[in-house]
């Protein structure tokens, strides 16, 4: 079976969190894995170590550096275009968090899970199911996530379990339209992406084009750059996003 996947990893001062050695080992084991490291203006050694990885695996690794820090959403957005330019034959291009709380190997499983549907977007979902998934999260993040998902589902008008999981795959032929515009927010771009998808499909048909797939493994890592005070701003930010996109969505 042909195992081919293209992933963007947004990086900002990740020298202590991004397991470069583990990533190199995985690239050696999975020749079909292509990785774009989108450096968001790091001030530590992240960019240097990323370049070293590219030298080690030039056919599998691309380093794209933003000229200034633009936030995770902008790093992902630019990384998606850089990956598409480097590998124009890609079927799906996804993005995973730098801490690899979700192992990159999950991307292969997510894609296989939904074949032959070829959905517009495949979303990893952190659902702790007895005997089948290994999801390790703090209680605070879990319950905050449930409240957040309820707010997003209410605004979108469609049920969604986990918008903020840092493991997603986008059909490559839709990258240009979905990532053409800069995002309004630095951290809620996943929600904006759902609004953009719904603008293409219409609310009534969103379920036919987006699939949530339970991850088999997610181990929460420390050092998150999203702070408590960012959470306080969430309701206002969600309202801003909804107002911006509502006029684009067909019923």
Per-residue pLDDT in tens (0 to 9) along the chain, 251 residues: 467 899 999 999 999 999 999 999 999 999 999 999 999 999 999 999 999 999 999 999 999 999 999 999 999 999 999 999 999 999 999 999 999 999 999 999 999 999 889 999 999 999 999 999 999 988 888 888 888 999 999 999 999 999 999 999 999 999 999 999 999 998 899 999 999 999 999 999 999 999 999 999 999 987 555 554 455 678 889 999 999 999 899 77
Q: State the DSSP code for 216.
A: S
Q: Is the preceding omega at residue 51 within 30 degrees of 0, hence cis?
A: no
**Would you give the distance in Å from CA 185 to the centre of its chain?**
15
CB within 8 Å of 24: residues ≥ 6 apart: 53, 56, 57
Would you call 162 helix, strand, or coil by DSSP?
Answer: coil
Domains and CATH numbers, the chain: 5-248 (3.90.550.10)
* Cα angle value 165/218/152 (rounded, 5°): 20
As a whole number of Å, the end-to-end CA separation of the chain is 40
Q: Identify the helix (H) or strand (E) that includes residue 240.
A: helix 234-245
**Would you give the distance in Å from CA 158 to the centre of its chain?**
20
Give the C-alpha distances (Å, rounded to integers) separating 17 from 27, 35, 97, 106, 129: 18, 17, 10, 19, 27
> In the prediction, which pLDDT does 211 show?
96
């Amino acid at each position: 079976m042909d195992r081919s996947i293209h992933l963007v990893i947004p990086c900002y001062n990740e020298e202590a969190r991004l397991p470069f050695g583990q990533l190199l080992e995985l690239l050696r084991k999975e020749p079909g894995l292509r990785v774009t490291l989108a450096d968001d203006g790091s001030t530590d050694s992240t960019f240097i170590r990323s370049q070293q990885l590219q030298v080690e695996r030039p056919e599998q690794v691309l380093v794209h550096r933003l000229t200034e820090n633009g936030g995770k959403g902008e790093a992902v957005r630019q990384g998606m275009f850089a990956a598409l330019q480097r590998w124009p034959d890609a079927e799906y291009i996804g993005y995973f968090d730098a801490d690899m709380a979700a192992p990159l190997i999950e991307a292969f499983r997510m894609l296989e899970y939904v074949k032959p549907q070829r959905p517009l977007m495949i979303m990893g979902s952190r659902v702790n199911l007895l005997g089948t998934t290994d999801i390790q999260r703090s209680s605070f993040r879990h319950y905050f996530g449930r409240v957040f998902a309820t707010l997003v589902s209410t605004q979108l008008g469609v049920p969604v379990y986990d918008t903020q999981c840092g493991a997603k795959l986008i059909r490559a032929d839709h990258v240009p339209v979905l990532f053409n515009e800069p995002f309004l927010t630095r951290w809620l771009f996943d929600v904006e992406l759902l609004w953009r998808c719904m603008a293409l499909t219409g609310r009534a048909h969103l379920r036919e084009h987006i699939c949530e797939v339970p991850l088999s493994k997610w181990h929460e890592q420390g050092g998150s750059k999203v702070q408590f005070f960012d959470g306080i701003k969430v309701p206002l930010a969600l309202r801003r996003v909804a107002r911006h996109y509502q006029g684009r969505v067909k019923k």
